[in-house]
A and B are shown apart, each in its own frame.
Chain A
Amino acid sequence: MKTFLGRFILLLLLVLPTTVMIFESGASGKFVALGDDSMEGEIDGEDDDDEGVVETDDATGDDGEQAVTETEKPEKEEEEEVDTSLKPSQDVDATILFTKPVNTNDLPSGKPVRFLVGFKNNGEKDFTVSSLETSFRYPQDYSFFIQNFTTAVYNQLVEPNKEATFEYGFTPSEAFNSRPFGLSILLNYKDNDGNEYQSAVFNETINVVEPDEGLDGETFFLYLFLVAIVVLLGIGAQQLLTTFGKKHLGKGKAAPKVEMGTQKTDVDYSWLPQETLQEINKSPKGSPRGGSPRKRKSKRGSGEE
């Protein structure tokens, strides 16, 4: 046990500068304890090896030559396991305001949605707002992306005690009608030292609804078509009724048609040559085209009808 303790104390002395650095960096302070735990575990398990071989304890991606970076790596991996996302900065106040549509969680599909993001720098350093990401996520699991909208790149510098506003617009697709989505709007920014931050200005579930169209071409012609069908049915019914009525009632009423023959109508003789006209006027019976009225009728009858 004493050799264990001795080795352990020696290692701690070597590791002290790095632990001091970790304590200084502030934000990752809470992960120091976990890092220490992993270090202890590894030391206990590999007591045969030298202190310098600590780097082989780490599973992957360990290519540092210096002891400092190597011992930092297990802590970093521990960090990454717990939280890989960027955090908002304490000096920044980010808000959102939807300008279209206002005050509702129902977004009409096919219509643009616009909002303003306000960014206020309450700190002492400059901030640079890099970009704004908007995405639709699965409402039950916000880490699953359904649609990612275009990232707006601003790269605007905001000095201390100043505000800035950023506008963004997107249009939900009509394919997403009548479904709830998790809308996630993230603002990325960084400070002078290059630290990156991210603020989730909106992270709630919204509904995509069908817009209330009103009268448009399709519905107008649909109603016109229905009216036409009704009229057609009416006409059909009317025809049926008349034929039915004629069958039952109309047998005796229609008078039998009597053939009367052709009467003497005004016939135009002006196109006949002069000689023929004179002959006709001389002898009405002996006209070249003469014949009994019946014959004439039969000759004409084929052409008349």
Chain B
Amino acid sequence: ILLSDGPSPAITPITPPTSVIAPLFIDTLCLDKCTTLREEVDDSFDINISVSDPEKVGDGMNAYMAYKVTTKTSMSLFKQREFSVKRRFSDFLGLHSKLASKYLHVGYIVPPAPEKSIVGMTKVKVGKEDQSSNEFVEKRRSALERYLMRTVKHHILLKDPDVLQFLESSELPRAVSTQALSSAGLLRMVNKAADAVNKMTIKMNESDAWFEEKQQHFESLDVQLRKLHISVESLVCHRKELSVNTAQFAKSAAMLGNSEDHTALSRALSQLAEVEEKMDQLHQDQANADFYLFSELLGDYVRLLAAVKGVFDHRIKTWQKWQDSQILLQKKREAEAKLQFTNKSDKLQQAKDEIKDMEGRVQQDERDFEQISRTIRKEVGRFEKERVKDFKTSIIKYLESLVLTQQQVIKSYFTFRYVTASV
């Protein structure tokens, strides 16, 4: 039971639209049980999370969508083998925010949460149960599921207490600071801007070519994925258009068949209308496959690459911190040297103490820098492995969807040919 402000809220279950609900070939990406770096986990990776049953809770502008998060696992990490909780979108954002603050700055690639959408959510809140708001909810549900699976696939994040609490605990404190227009939200925006400015002014002496190479690789990958994403989104759009236009043509052909006074031809035209109706349905299904199996994969990776970039940037910041403390140490040493020639023995002692502290800090900063560099190397390796697996699985599934569509097309036109031949 989620904490909510008002009295017992009305719960309106949302019926998923039949066109959006997966036909045979759209499994969610996460259903394949994948194994991760075995050498780094105790028991084998066996966990499957599904997000389902979106329900509208409350009314008006305070309404929100509650999703059921079901975990099925045999890992000893968890108290039970199968359990569910109810979560809302801001809970997911809250989880991400906590993980990001704990792990990003030490070099772990934390999967980004799905994006907010004020427009999309407002439609749902306002209560329109139409095609577009149903599609929005389904998109979000799928994105939340992928987000959780990506998070738990990370062997470190999986063990994080916040993650475990998110999955297991029936009650979760509201994550208020995730709201876009909250003070925390504004602070985030300011920080982002400051970071951007800093990035432009920090010039790092890269001693390790690997990092530069990888950064360039990810940058060009980002450009290419964005380009591909745009084309795939365009394909989804045009296929949806094709579906609508085919349906309209089918109706028109049926009318034409009705007015045709030659009986056999009239029958053939009605058959044409039927075929085109089937095509319309096939185009719609294919457009869904285009979206969920291809477009969303690309969108996810564009966002993931932003997280990767963030991690590289953190390394630069860590380096900068190290440089800064070295400079500070140098200054203190110079100050101490100057004090040697004066007679202020207490100040001198203080300076010597400060130098000792500073030396400690410099050593720590150097260790931090080396640590984050090591972590990033491992993370990049893990990320690339995941990327290869992800793309291969999704694209194979996508091609399978295309195969199915073509098979259906053949079936439909086969009957059609049979009828028209008898005109």
Asked if A and B are interacting partners, one says no
